[in-house]
Amino acid sequence: MARLDPHSYCDDAQPQTDTVDWVARVDFASKTLTAVATLTFARSGSGPLDLDTRGLTIDRAETLDGRVVPFVVHTEDAVLGARLTLTLPEGTAGVRVAYRTSPEASALQWLEAAQTHGGVHPFLFSQCQAIHARSVLPLQDTPRVRVRYTAALTVPAQLKALMAAAFVSREVDGDLAVERWQMPQSIPPYLFAFAVGDLAGRELGPRCRVWAEPGVIDRAAFEFAGADAMLTTAEALFGPYPWDRFDFLTMPPSFPYGGMENPRLTFLTPTLLAGDRSLVNVLAHELAHSWTGNLVTNANAEHFWLNEGFTVYAERRIQEVLEGAERGALSEALGRESLDEAIKGFKARPALTHLRTDLTGIDPDDAYSQVPYEKGYLFLKTLERYVGRPAFDVYLRRYIETFAFRSITTDDFVRFTRAALPGALEAIDAPAWIEGPGVPSNAASGGSARLDALRALGTTPPADAVAGAWSPAEWQLWLQQCARTPDDVDCAALDARFDLSVSGNFEVLVAWLELGVLAGYVPAVPRACQLLSQVGRMKYLRPLYKALMVRPETRAVARSTFEACAPAYHPIARQVVRGLLSAP
Ligand SMILES: [Zn+2]
């Protein structure tokens, strides 16, 4: 027997799940799901079967032909959750487990009507990455075990359910509706996803539809109007789109991430709705995951860079085609800023800045950082520079074709790359990237004329004509540059001249408020607190809470803001901010 994933009780000597049939009733009053999960195995088996669970109450278990299956729920582990051991009778082809979820299920956020845009109906959504699917259903919660599934969700009839799967049917019976879905392609369990709320959809093209609350749908449809063209661009780069449809859902403001690449239904933060389509690179990122991540998947969280490094690379290739090389260079520079910041944060734990990590005993949410994204990107960019783009493009297509619908490790990547690009890994000293800390000195860097001009400014404000022509990315970079020496910046003058405190672009606004708070610019503090009460995206919570904790006079404000806002934050975000506020 072997447990091959440090974050799962899955034992590869036991039967492996092939398909899941999930039937669940959503109860907003008790914030629970009452459900039956039927797991069918790739091959019949007997004896112990270990499944992952967290906070589930197991009511009963039986075989597909109705024989009782004895089970034990072990003591809950803080990182892994509780192991559920079933004892399968001879010749068991599958099991049916009846259970209920906990109101504290770590994958689920139950929003009160007041937390939605419309303010009338409640909202429910799931976020299963990295290891939260087990709080929704008992399963082998490791990307190594890919499953296909069918699902039937019973929800209040006035609400709409959506799943990251193909829609089958909706039947209304009195005040309840049953919505059926199926996922014909195999997915790792962290891509299991659904949402329930007052939702409207708008077609954006033959394969793309955007979903949002009715009051947000017009803005969302405008912002993401280019989705279909983006999909065509991505196919030209990476091969045919393997998931049939590319729909996406604009989430309520508490959604903790920029996006989540749930196949057939990407989840997106509403902070992307800048009104000028300037933040659609996040949509490009989630789309790119259709190949790198969802199709070729990391075997466990220790190889997360295979998902995110490849996807940042792919995202920037899409962006380069759609917006030009100059814009790509700015994105790369922004990425490098966030990477350096992340590496600084891991000063005491440099092993977490390796591409391949050892996460035994470590919660993947605690290890989460920009390192797998941006260091992974730089590694691939360095490889691309060494072999040349034409050879790299052939390599990338072959990598995707070879590992499609498989879950792989860094060793699989190394073996494949050695054979496909002989000598390249040695030439760029791949071990220093994969098994070493920080960023190796041979990292490729793009650069551009606009980037150089911006760097040359230092903390000097741009001339009005220049500022008027600046893209949000240039503003963001310049503001971040100023935040390194905040005492040299006259924030009041800047705000008066460029109206930064009322920027409609969250990336610019947060970079500005971070600078303002660090510089002791008093009006920035209430504005930052107001923003912290309106959105729950961790990318913004982190720098603003961190900045508020720098000066003694704003620490109490940080704590009281968090106390007031915490109930509205997603459980994952709450945990992250609590960590920031308790840091010495
Ligand atoms: Zn990603």
C-alpha of residue 307 to centroid of ligand 1, in Å: 7
C-alpha of residue 368 to centroid of ligand 1, in Å: 11
C-alpha of residue 314 to centroid of ligand 1, in Å: 10
DSSP 512: H
Map residue 405 onto helix, strand or coil.
Answer: coil
Map residue 181 onto helix, strand or coil.
Answer: strand
Distance from C-alpha of 77 to C-alpha of 9, rounded to nearest angstrom:
11
What amino acid occupies position 174? G
Nearest to 202 by CA among 245, 248, 168: 248
Map residue 536 onto helix, strand or coil.
Answer: coil
C-alpha of residue 157 to centroid of ligand 1, in Å: 34
- pLDDT tens string 111-138: 999 899 999 999 999 999 999 999 999 9
C-alpha of residue 499 to centroid of ligand 1, in Å: 32
C-alpha of residue 289 to centroid of ligand 1, in Å: 7
Catalytic residue selected from 373, 399, 540, 545? 373
- Whether 159 has a pLDDT exceeding 70, the answer reads yes
C-alpha of residue 518 to centroid of ligand 1, in Å: 29
- Whether 479 has a pLDDT exceeding 70, the answer reads yes
Nearest to 519 by CA among 496, 487, 555, 478: 487
Catalytic residue selected from 213, 223, 286, 315? 286
- Whether 238 has a pLDDT exceeding 80, the answer reads yes
Nearest to 314 by CA among 239, 259, 246, 255: 239
Distance from C-alpha of 296 to C-alpha of 292, rounded to nearest angstrom:
5
Evaluate whether 540 touches 510 at the Cβ level (below 8 Å).
yes
- Whether 583 has a pLDDT exceeding 90, the answer reads no
pLDDT at position 134 is 98
Q: What Cα–Cα distance (Å) separates residue 107 from each residue in 192, 468, 565?
A: 10, 43, 19
Distance from C-alpha of 109 to C-alpha of 368, rounded to nearest angstrom:
20
pLDDT at position 297 is 98
pLDDT at position 457 is 96
Exposure b/e, 161-175, CB count within 10 A at least 16 = b: bbbbbbbeeeeeeee
pLDDT at position 572 is 87
Q: What Cα–Cα distance (Å) separates residue 332 from each residue in 199, 430, 439?
A: 35, 21, 14
Q: What are phi and psi of 571, to 5 degrees?
A: -55, -35
Distance from C-alpha of 49 to C-alpha of 11, rounded to nearest angstrom:
8
Task: Count Cα neighbours of 575 within 13 Å in the Cβ-side half-sphere.
Answer: 11
Mean per-residue pLDDT over the chain, rounded: 97
Kindly report the number of other CB atoms within 10 A of residue 434's CB atom: 19
Percent over 90 (pLDDT), the chain = 97
Kindly report the number of other CB atoms within 10 A of residue 1's CB atom: 8
Output 202-205 pairs: Cβ under 8 A, ≥24 positions apart.
204/228, 205/229, 205/231
Instruction: Assess whether 286 carries a catalytic annotation.
Output: yes
pLDDT at position 1 is 67
Which regions of 107-165 does DSSP assign to beta strands (E)?
108-111, 123-126, 147-156, 160-163
Nearest to 381 by CA among 333, 445, 324, 296: 445
pLDDT at position 571 is 87
The dihedral through the CA atoms of 514, 517, 521, 525 has a sign that is positive
Give first-to-last CA distance, the chain, whole Å: 43
C-alpha of residue 266 to centroid of ligand 1, in Å: 11
Residues 6 or more apart whose CB falls under 8 angstroms from that of 134 comprise: 51, 52, 53, 54, 56, 81, 141, 189
- Whether 251 has a pLDDT exceeding 80, the answer reads yes
C-alpha of residue 567 to centroid of ligand 1, in Å: 26
Nearest to 539 by CA among 137, 237, 129, 256: 256
Angle between helix 571-582 and 538-548 (nearest 10) = 20
What is the rounded average pLDDT of the residues 37-49?
98
pLDDT at position 447 is 83
- pLDDT tens string 167-222: 999 999 999 999 999 999 999 999 999 999 999 999 999 999 999 999 999 999 99
Q: What Cα–Cα distance (Å) separates residue 33 from each residue in 56, 106, 198, 458?
A: 10, 13, 19, 54
Evaluate whether 136 touches 126 at the Cβ level (below 8 Å).
yes
Say how many residues make up the chain. 584
pLDDT at position 584 is 65
Kindly report the number of other CB atoms within 10 A of residue 327's CB atom: 20
Which regions of 279-385 does DSSP assign to beta strands (E)?
296-298
Tokens 């072959």 locate to 398
C-alpha of residue 260 to centroid of ligand 1, in Å: 7
What is the rounded average pLDDT of the residues 234-256?
97
C-alpha of residue 257 to centroid of ligand 1, in Å: 10
C-alpha of residue 45 to centroid of ligand 1, in Å: 36
C-alpha of residue 223 to centroid of ligand 1, in Å: 20
What is the rounded average pLDDT of the residues 37-52?
98
What is the rounded average pLDDT of the residues 445-457?
90
Distance from C-alpha of 54 to C-alpha of 57, rounded to nearest angstrom:
9
Nearest to 51 by CA among 114, 152, 130, 145: 145
C-alpha of residue 115 to centroid of ligand 1, in Å: 26
What is the rounded average pLDDT of the residues 357-367?
95
β-pairing, 17-27 with 32-53? Answer: antiparallel
Evaluate whether 68 touches 62 at the Cβ level (below 8 Å).
yes
Kindly report the number of other CB atoms within 10 A of residue 564's CB atom: 12
What amino acid occupies position 345? G
Query: Exposed (0-12), middle (13-18) or buried (19+): which is 376, by Cβ within 10 Å?
Result: buried
